[in-house]
Amino acid sequence: MTFTHPVAPSPTTNAEPEEYLVLHEFIAKARNNLNRNIWDYLIGGTETETTVRRNRLALDSVAFRPRVLVDVQSVDARASFFGRTTRLPVLLAPVGSLESFEAGGGASVAEAAGRFGVAMMASSVTQPGLEAVAAAGTGPKVFQLYVRGDDGFIDDHAKRAVDAGYDAFCITVDTAFYSRRERDIAKRFRKNWRAHQAESMRFQAGLNWGHIERFKANHRIPLILKGIATAEDASRAVAIGVEGIYVSNHGGRQLDHGRGTLDILPEIVAAVGGQAKVIVDGGFSRGSDILKAIALGADTVGIGRLYCYGLAAAGVEGVVRVLELLEAEIEECLGLCGVTSFAGLDGSYLHPATPVVPPHVHSAFPHLNLPVETY
């Protein structure tokens, strides 16, 4: 039997500040609001989920080396994203089927990102579609494409993205095969967009460097490649003029036994050498996580599951409140590290460390006390 998910109803919570005071409260509320199939889709990874855990392990294996006696009365966490100022160096990463968490889906996320002041990346496999998502938000936006057709398919989406006002275009490059996500398989749960596009997924498997070179020759919109995991691929992308290198292992949802993205980041930064923007995602859950990535050379940090908890808990207001709490953590961490902005951070503020908790998808939230089976 094949199960498909319904569009989730809009949460009734208004996400008043006093209702959500710490980030893990959104996780608990989201879990209560979502059915088990959608919850497992949100938190799960591929096969053994080793890559999910390694994302957290990499982050937890870094400690801070703070400076003291620095005047940090004024801390500025602003950043830039493809020439536009953002309130934080944070990107709301592309997530498929956002409408299964909240009825507004990608439009709600775009609205929240614009209202708060961060960038968002709209997935081609989320609703309500490219144009409607762009119209819903005022902040920086990127359209992310899963290739489900020939060159004409790619060209059409690129033109539509330009016409809709997107700041950049992204092609995902780590999904040549759709992974075996055993939480879904064991329950015979199949997302409806995947069932409808199964035949056309062969185009993603055929995607190669020639397609990227062709895109650069035919389109003027900045191009980001999402799913870069080695210096070799980063160097090749930069050599053909790719403007954004997105370091990602798909949140642990594609290749099992991959490396944690914070472990990958230094070699990518070195290979890029400032010739392109570097974005990273993969398990980033706290303000301190954001600082670690920026100190290691990232320009922007993507969050995925974290904002989805806010979306599932309280819709647009929930995403905005997640970002407010994340901002509070970031500003505190900047000040306690002895810097007044991200420009003051570098690798000298970090040190290798031994993790103190076993890594899992929610190990950044020790007070959550979820039952083991939800990990």
Query: What CATH code is carried by the domain that includes residue 122?
Result: 3.20.20.70
Residue 231: inside a domain, yes or no?
yes
For 42, 48, 181, 343, the CA distances from 339, given in Å and listed in that order, are 35, 39, 41, 8
Which of 5, 157, 250, 362 is the catalytic position? 250
Has 250 been annotated as catalytic?
A: yes
> Which token pair is 79?
């950043």
Residue 372 has a pLDDT of: 43
Q: Does residue 250 form part of some domain? A: yes
**Could you identify the residue written with the tokens 């497992």?**
40
- Which pLDDT tens digits describe the chain residue by residue (375 residues)? 233 344 676 665 456 657 899 999 999 999 999 999 999 999 999 999 999 999 999 999 999 999 999 999 999 999 999 999 999 999 999 999 999 999 999 999 999 999 999 999 999 999 999 999 999 999 999 999 999 999 999 999 999 999 999 999 999 999 988 878 888 888 888 766 555 556 678 899 999 999 999 999 999 999 999 999 999 999 999 999 999 999 999 999 999 999 999 999 999 999 999 999 999 999 999 999 999 999 999 999 999 999 999 999 999 999 999 999 999 999 999 999 999 999 999 999 999 999 999 999 999 999 987 554 443
**Does residue 31 lie within any of the structural domains?**
no
Residue 9 lies in a domain: no
Q: What's the CA gap between 261 and 281, in Å, rounded?
A: 7
Q: Is residue 52 part of a domain?
A: no
The answer to whether residue 286 sits within a structural domain is yes
Residue 68 lies in a domain: no
Helix (H) / strand (E) element for 168: namely: strand 168-172
- What letter represents residue 267's amino acid? E
User: What interhelical angle do 24-33 and 36-43 show, nearest 10?
Assistant: 140
User: Given phi > 0 = left and psi -120 to 50 = alpha, else beta, which region is 283?
Assistant: left
- Both tokens of 93, joined, read 């990463």
Contact status, residue 279 vs residue 302, Cβ threshold 8 Å: yes
Count structural domains, the chain: 1
Q: What is the pLDDT of residue 328?
A: 98
14 within some domain: no
Secondary structure letter of residue 107 according to DSSP: H
**What whole-number distance in Å separates Cα of residue 50 and Cα of residue 253?**
10
CA–CA dist 246, 330 (Å, integer): 22
CB 92 within 8 A of CB 319: yes
Peptide bond into 128 cis (omega under 30): yes
Could you tell me the residue range of the domain that residue 231 belongs to? Answer: 79-336
**Residue 194 has what pLDDT?**
56
